[in-house]
Chain A
Amino acid sequence: NAGVTQTPKFQVLKTGQSMTLQCAQDMNHNSMYWYRQDPGMGLRLIYYSASEGTTDKGEVPNGYNVSRLNKREFSLRLESAAPSQTSVYFCASSVTPGHQETQYFGPGTRLLVL
């Protein structure tokens, strides 16, 4: 049981390039989330998927798109990367979107946009 896995671990992009961050969970969770972590700002929600087939915007969705490919996988796409998107990206999952549910986090993807 690997939990939540993310690929790649580290990526360097040039401004304007695109890339997709991959996330998968093997805990049969219904809900999945993408966060970014910036120094001094904690984690901020980018997008989430309460259940397979649904996605919704979080606090900072601009410049990103997501796809809930199936129950296990939730990808985050940067269509045209900008230096402001340099950050550490975390994927998380929970059994349901319920308020008392614990979220389980992946190891993160460090992204540097030059």
Chain B
Amino acid sequence: AQSVAQPEDQVNVAEGNPLTVKCTYSVSGNPYLFWYVQYPNRGLQFLLKYITGDNLVKGSYGFEAEFNKSQTSFHLKKPSALVSDSALYFCAVRDPTGNQFYFGTGTSLTVIP
């Protein structure tokens, strides 16, 4: 079965420091991995995705994610956090055999001024 795990419910980081939001996955076949961000009372917004190619994927708002096949991870990173990055972040994996997305439980990121 396909699944995604986000081991941290909450991540706090000081403004200007680098941030990492962790994601690990379990999938049969080649993984298609996505990161979404959700601001309060809003829908999910697409940040970036890994389909194939370079293990380092660059996305919106200065975010990037590193695909690591051996560790089955797809951690989201940003070199310098902004207060405006505070939001709920979801990792998702696409089922290569069907039509479903499988979402993680979300990580709440708080950037402290």
Contact = CB atoms under 8 A, between A and B. Distances in A.
A4 to B, nearest CB: 7
A54 B44 CA distance: 25
Given A43-B44, A50-B99, A90-B43, 8 more contacts: A31-B99, A43-B103, A48-B100, A56-B99, A103-B46, A105-B44, A107-B42, A108-B41
B22 interface: no
Bin chain A's interface residue count: 20 to 34
A7 to B, nearest CB: 13
Interface of B: 4, 32, 34, 36, 41-46, 49, 51, 90, 92, 94-96, 99-101, 103-106
Contacts of A92: 44
Interface string A14-57: 00000000000000000101000000111111001010000010
Given A4-B43, A90-B43, A42 B104 contact: yes
Interface of A: 4, 31, 33, 40-45, 48, 50, 56, 58-59, 90, 92, 97, 99-100, 102-108
B11 to A, nearest CB: 16
Given A105-B43, A106-B43, A107-B42, A99 B96 contact: yes
B97 to A, nearest CB: 9
A1 B101 CA distance: 25
Contacts of B105: 40-42
Nearest to A96: B99
Contacts of A59: 100
Contact of B46 (A42, A90, A104, A107): A104
Nearest to B90: A42
A99 B104 contact: no
B44 A102 contact: no
B100 A45 contact: yes
Contacts of A42: 4, 90, 103-106
Contacts of A44: 103
Nearest to A103: B101
A100 B51 contact: yes
A104 to B, nearest CB: 7
B94 A100 contact: yes
